[in-house]
Structure 1
Amino acid sequence: MTDFFKRRLATSSMLALGVAAAIGMSATAASAQTVADIKKKGELTVGMLVDFPPYGIMSSSNQPDGYDADVARLLAKDLGVNVKLVPVTGPNRIPFLLTNKVDVLVASLAVTPERAKQVQFSQPYAAATIVVYGSKKANVKAAPELKGVRVGVARASTQDIALTAVAPEGTEIRRFDDDASAMQALMSGQVDAIGCSTTVAAQIEKRVPANTFENKFVLRQQVMGIAMRPGQAELQKAVDDFVARNKANGELNKLYRKWLETDMPAMSGS
């Protein structure tokens, strides 16, 4: 069992410093284009979120960790190279990939038709349920009841897109740089609810008095894929083979149970 639930989430300011430092270190790194290039380089550079527990966090030693980090380590091991984990944010993760700052993204990136026009996705390696989560005092059970409600989301995230699509006119959507900032806004009363994954909601539950917040309604179910730049058919095949093989042998399920304390759900494309 991981000691994840004994760890405290890093504060937003520490997270920002960690991301800034990682960006500085990775800005000059050349990004590999093929499997052979990665093996020649001897290192797989992976972009990942560190504010999306338990998929991505900063560990007690201020290093990227979580389910995504373990998947990235397993992928690098499969390729026979070292791994370099580069913290990214929701808004900059695809730009980091497309500008060659990282080789791939294992960054809780939901597979959507819009994103599939920008990047290549592997078959799903993880899944998440996105909900509107807010004060028990707020009488919100469905999207039409969000009128006049202040709702926070991480900017450019799947929850931002899903919420924007269903929120009625008069909903006050407040966009933050990351999930950690949205969480802080909810707990400090700046917003009445947030759009987030059920795993993020579970972490908030552990930090506030009982019966403070609750899941209001489901925004969407989503699967996540490892993302690569367009035109990398060989690399995509290698990553797809990695995902399929480690689903079949149970290794991904072990990591899923380690971090999410449940079995990996069935996913389309599995």
Structure 2
Amino acid sequence: MSLIKSICRRGLGALVLAGLATATLGLAPAGAATPDEIKARGKLVVGVLTDYPPFGGTDTQQQPAGYDADVAKLFAKSLGVKLELVPVTGPNRIPYLLTNKIDVLIATFGITAERSKQVLFSNPYSSLTIYVLAPKSLNIKTAADLKSVSIAVARASTQDTAITKIAPPGTVIKRYDDDATSLQALISGQVQAIGASNTILAQLNKDYPQLKIEPKITLREQPNGMAFRKSDTALAEYANKFIATIEQNGELSKINQKWFGVPLGKLPPMPKF
């Protein structure tokens, strides 16, 4: 499936999978709070996105797959238990966790002050980076270079705000209704560059390698953490040790290489609120 079709269709697939998960989980909520309880049960239940590849998507059998799913597999392996992956959506991620339908969220969940009022975050295990993306042949090294470039963004998005802030007067910023339309503008040559995340970069290079798209300017970095219920401090502490281990032994970098085509860079620090 092409990148644009994937973006347009991903919401429907996520809703279907999440609905099935709701029906199943209603019969057997999780509720484990410590590593020992999970080991005794023999299963770790993890909420993952299925509408945000390559962090969270689906495979050819429509099962959850992606960066987050691979991290979840290693997490369950470290505990010595089986893994159950439960599809969640952006809006229902926190409700699924707080109502004990899952043990933990590994779902491209940005660590923010507002969210930290409801959940307990682990240290970052990934990051979502927003860039100015353009072909390798295009000379963009600083914000000043944008003046001679036409650039597409999704209207009112994070990248729209960031680019508007740094772009010099006269920069041609073309705002589109969504990511799919702005991507089409880049692919068809209507614009020379685009404001987008590393997820878009990975998919562009997979589907349109001939464009030779690369990051030019880093606009923003969002650290993502696992999320736990506030009372599950022991499990969160275990997760922090686990994340440190797979970062140090290279397993996390292998996952990043698999899904994004590059080794893992230095993870951002834990935000302080």
Could you tell me the TM-score, scaled by structure 1's length? 0.71
Instruction: Give unpaired runs (5+ residues) of structure 1.
Output: 1-6, 177-181
Which amino acid is 1:20 matched to? L
Q: Which has the larger radius of gyration?
A: 2
Q: 1:69: Cα distance to partner?
A: 0.8
SS in 2 for 1:112: coil
Counterpart of 1:3 in structure 2 is: none
Equivalent residue, structure 2, for 1:246: 246
Mark the CA change 1:214 to 1:75 in structure 2 (over 3 Å): closer, same or farther.
closer
Q: Which residue of 1 aligns with 2:15?
A: 20
Paired residues for 1:11-50 under 5 Å = 11=6, 15-27=10-22, 29=25, 30-35=29-34, 36-50=36-50
- Alignment correspondent of 1:105: 105
Residues 173 and 43 of structure 1, relative CA distance in 2, 3 Å threshold = farther
**Ranges in structure 2 where 5+ consecutive residues have no aligned partner:** 166-172
**Cα 1:11–1:229, aligned 2, differ >3 Å: closer, same or farther?**
same
1:86 aligns with 2:100: no
Q: Aligned AA for 1:185?
A: T
Greater displacement, 67-76 / 45-54: 45-54
Contact 2:202 2:260 in 1 (8 A): no
Deviation beyond 4 Å, 4+ runs, structure 1: 7-10, 132-136, 141-145, 160-168, 171-176, 188-195, 208-217
CA distance in 1, matches of 2:134, 2:154: 10
2:131 is equivalent to residue 151 of structure 1: no
Contact 1:47–1:86 (Cα < 8 Å) also in 2:
yes
Identical counterparts, % of pairs: 39
Specify the alignment match of 1:257 in structure 2: 257
Mapped to 2, the partners of 1:223 and 1:45 lie a distance apart of 23
**How far, CA to CA, are the matches of 2:32 and 2:177 in structure 1?**
34
| 8 Å contact kept, 1:133–1:217 | yes
- Counterpart contact for 2:96–2:102, Cα < 8 Å: yes
CA distance in 2, matches of 1:23, 1:52: 14
* Distance across 1 between alignment mates of 2:215 and 2:234: 42
Q: What is the TM-score of this pair, normalised by structure 2? A: 0.70
Q: How big is the shift at 1:252?
A: 2.0
| Cα shift at 1:12 | 5.1
Given that residues 127 and 268 in structure 2 are in contact (C-alpha distance below 8 angstroms), is that contact kept between their aligned partners in structure 1?
no
